[in-house]
Amino acid sequence: MKRVKAIYPGSFDPPTNGHLDLIERGSKIFDELVVAILRNPEKDPLFSVVDRRKMLESMTSSFDNVSVDTFDGLTVDYALRVQAQAILRGIRAISDYEYELQMALMNRKLQPTLETVFMMPAEKYSYLSSRLVREIAQLGGSVECLVPELVEQKLREKIDVAHKFANGEPGPRVSSVGKSQFKKRKL
Ligand code: PNS
């Protein structure tokens, strides 16, 4: 019997409950699902790839057919390398559609044997994004119910470090957005 393997590529900075919802849905229709974190040297992420991998591994440990990996270069090349037949992407709202369609069609042009499969997360996650989670956390808002507890805790740790750093204490480098905002806001 033919087994279908899919990759779920993304930045996952940080992974959210919306991502987890999609992973759960994907794990039900694919025999194997690889959550693939893009190692993008051009971006200045909040979390390192190692941190993001650890968070995703912990979040997905209960799914037998889900694994986590990292990749660089083209998504289609990575998909071929791991012998996947499909690329899973989430569509939350119409506004996602144009970008996702363009990417899916370009990926098909690059590699016609690969199919992109779109799935919709639960409605309650339709307004959720990693970018907003980062912003809310960095500005001192609650991200409870938006991300798993582990991610919430990691965000809190990052914020504490950024806060100390902004107050002149030595500490590791944090994203420039976080740094400048922490200078303005006393927590
Ligand atoms: O979570 P994101 O940031 O929306 O994920 C975007 C991602 C990683 C899927 C996309 O940027 C990507 O596939 N990048 C790898 C480079 C690539 O293949 N580019 C051509 C896309 S048509």
| pLDDT number for residue 41 | 78
- Sign of the torsion angle spanned by Cα atoms 78, 81, 83, 85: positive
- Would you say 41 and 11 are in contact if contact means Cβ atoms under 8 Å apart? no
| pLDDT number for residue 179 | 41
* Tens digits of residue pLDDT in 141-181: 999 999 999 999 999 998 887 777 677 765 444 444 444 34
Give which of 10, 100, 5 is closest to 55, Cα–Cα. 10
* Tens digits of residue pLDDT in 22-44: 999 999 999 999 999 999 878 89
Q: Which of the listed residues 7, 56, 74 should we mutate to test ligand 1's pocket, taking the one with most ligand atoms within 8 A of CB?
A: 74
Residue with CA nearest ligand 1 atom 11: 10
- What gap in Å lies between CA 38 and CA 8, rounded to an integer? 10
- Would you say 90 and 121 are in contact if contact means Cβ atoms under 8 Å apart? yes
- Sign of the torsion angle spanned by Cα atoms 180, 135, 97, 57: positive
User: Regarding predicted confidence, which is higher, 186 or 65?
Assistant: 65
Give which of 33, 35, 19 is closest to 69, Cα–Cα. 35
* Tens digits of residue pLDDT in 85-112: 999 999 999 989 999 999 999 999 999 9
| pLDDT number for residue 1 | 78
| pLDDT number for residue 57 | 98
Confidence class for position 185, pLDDT limits 50, 70, 90: very low
| pLDDT number for residue 169 | 65
Residues recognised as catalytic? 19, 43, 92, 130
Relative orientation angle of helices 49-59 and 17-29, to the nearest 10 degrees: 60
Residue with CA nearest ligand 1 atom 13: 75
- Would you say 107 and 114 are in contact if contact means Cβ atoms under 8 Å apart? yes
Kindly give the number of the ligand 1 atom that is closest to the alpha carbon of 72. Answer: 15
Q: How many angstroms separate the alpha carbon of residue 139 from the centre of ligand 1?
A: 27
Question: Which residue blocks in 30-148 are alpha helix, DSSP H?
Answer: 49-59, 75-81, 94-110, 130-138
Q: How many angstroms separate the alpha carbon of residue 160 from the centre of ligand 1?
A: 31
* Tens digits of residue pLDDT in 70-81: 999 999 999 999
DSSP annotation of 57 reads H
**35 beta partners:** 8, 68
| pLDDT number for residue 132 | 97
